[in-house]
Amino acid sequence: MATNNKSPHHSARCSFCQRPEYEVNMLIHGEHAAICDECSIRAMDYVKELQHSKSVARLSQATVLKPQEIKAFLDQYVIGQDEAKKFLSVAVYNHYKRIQLPKEKKIDIEKSNILLVGETGTGKTLLASTIARILHVPFAIVDATVLTEAGYVGEDVESILSRLLQAADGNVPLAEKGIVFIDELDKISRKSDNPSITRDVSGEGVQQAMLKLLEGSVVNVPPQGGRKHPEQKMIPVDTKNILFICGGAFEGIERIIAQRLNTNMIGYGSVQKHAHIDRNNLLQYIGPADMRKYGLIPEIIGRLPIITYLEPLDRKALRAILTEPKNAIIKQYIYLFSLDGIELTFDNDVLEYIVDKAIEYKLGARGLRSICEIIIIDAMYDLPSDKKTSFRVTKEYAEMKLQSTEKLKAS
């Protein structure tokens, strides 16, 4: 029970500071003790500091998975993309080693931020969200498309670190050792090589603002979202030990790569040297020069020293994505129906049909989910109210559902 009796004749005292009740704003009584409002605030601050120090201690003592172990975990959820998995696994492993280095170290090890380039639906965001499951550090995924230069409508670049702080429950020392995945980086590319009289506030302006985050500096972060709450107190966050993983589709960059390769193919010897080039997957030859020509400023490219690619998904990979990973799309539907006591089955030719349509629509793995939703939506609506205990999806049923949807869109 809390009281606010200011009478000097009252004998109750704070059990911590021993001040009588009439000298404090509030005294909270327990069964055999009491605490004043000021001591309770100090106790709360102490508990927070203790929790933060314990979190950092647990992080420094955490068992570091080896790169092959990290990749093995990714293999359970993501089909293919071995090259990208290898780069990610090594980067995360080195990040753990960096943050566990003793303060008095012989050599300063610089962080290696990564840029993942791949077509839509190849698994960039899935790789990032999957690797977050095994991390002992705060992890945040942000979208670059909502960012604008400071002073314009949209989110400030500092909001990236606000997300990381939220993931760390406000623990600044823990957030300063976290990992951030910035998606859709290609959407903030410079719009034109020619100077413009208007400001490129969502392109080059954002890239310039991101430099201080990527390179490592102390940034004042608004805990509640920037200029929407201008009166709030800023939180200083050091980005020196924050690992940044960036991703983007960079649509059309294959033409830039092809142009560069053809330019270099001069003379008979050069033709022989480039005869082995895989024209169906030019992304594997991507380099910093291509990124610069696409519209990333040189300073950003220099702070993303590791550039790797995701391979386009072929028919075999798309078929495997449907059924093989731990969180495979078909497994999710089967589990959802089982919660209602319904056994759901798919014929093999239905799965082949779904893959054919995904290839036709050119949406990658995302297309698989969209097609499955169209096919199964009526069953998900009707069956929970019916008394059926099983449901089988045939190719005829799938074709009927998909064709009816296509007719509606065409009309």
Rounded CA-CA distance 342/314 in Å is: 32
Q: Are residues 55 and 70 in the same domain?
A: no
Angle in degrees, CA 152, 175, 82, rounded to 5: 90
Stated as kind and residue range, the H or E segment containing 253 is helix 253-264
The whole domain housing 37 covers 2-60
Q: Are residues 294 and 328 in the same domain?
A: no
Which tokens sit at 29? 């009584």
Rounded CA-CA distance 366/361 in Å is: 10
- Specify whether the CB–CB gap between 84 and 154 falls below 8 A: no
Pairing mode, if any, of strands 139-143 and 114-117?
unpaired
- Specify whether the CB–CB gap between 246 and 182 falls below 8 A: yes
Q: Are residues 284 and 217 in the same domain?
A: yes
Q: What's the pLDDT score for residue 216?
A: 83
Domain boundary among 283, 309, 335: 309
How far CA 245 is from CA of 122, 166, 180, 205, in Å, comes to: 16, 18, 6, 20
Q: What dihedral angle (degrees, nearest 10) is formed by the CA atoms of 189, 192, 193, 194?
A: -150
Q: Are residues 102 and 46 in the same domain?
A: no
**How many structural domains is the chain composed of?**
3
Residue 237, strand partner residues: 219
Q: Are residues 276 and 331 in the same domain?
A: no
Q: What's the pLDDT score for residue 200?
A: 53
Residue 179, strand partner residues: 139, 243
Residue 117, strand partner residues: 248, 309
Q: Are residues 235 and 211 in the same domain?
A: yes
Q: Are residues 31 and 151 in the same domain?
A: no
Contacts of 311 (CB under 8 A, 6+ apart): 80, 81, 83, 118, 122, 281, 283, 284
Domain boundary among 264, 293, 309: 309
- Specify whether the CB–CB gap between 83 and 204 falls below 8 A: no
Q: Indicate which CATH number applies to the domain containing 218.
A: 3.40.50.300
Domain boundary among 12, 32, 60: 60
Listed as ranges, residues in the chain with pLDDT below 50 are: 1-9, 151, 195-197, 265-268, 270-272, 408, 410-411
Q: Are residues 376 and 233 in the same domain?
A: no
Q: Indicate which CATH number applies to the domain containing 386.
A: 1.10.8.60
Q: Are residues 40 and 101 in the same domain?
A: no
Q: Are residues 400 and 332 in the same domain?
A: yes
The pair phi, psi for residue 199, each rounded to 5°, is -85, 140
Q: Are residues 302 and 184 in the same domain?
A: yes
Q: Are residues 52 and 94 in the same domain?
A: no
Closest CA to 24 of 10, 151, 32: 10
Residue 148's CB is within 10 A of a number of other CB atoms, namely 19
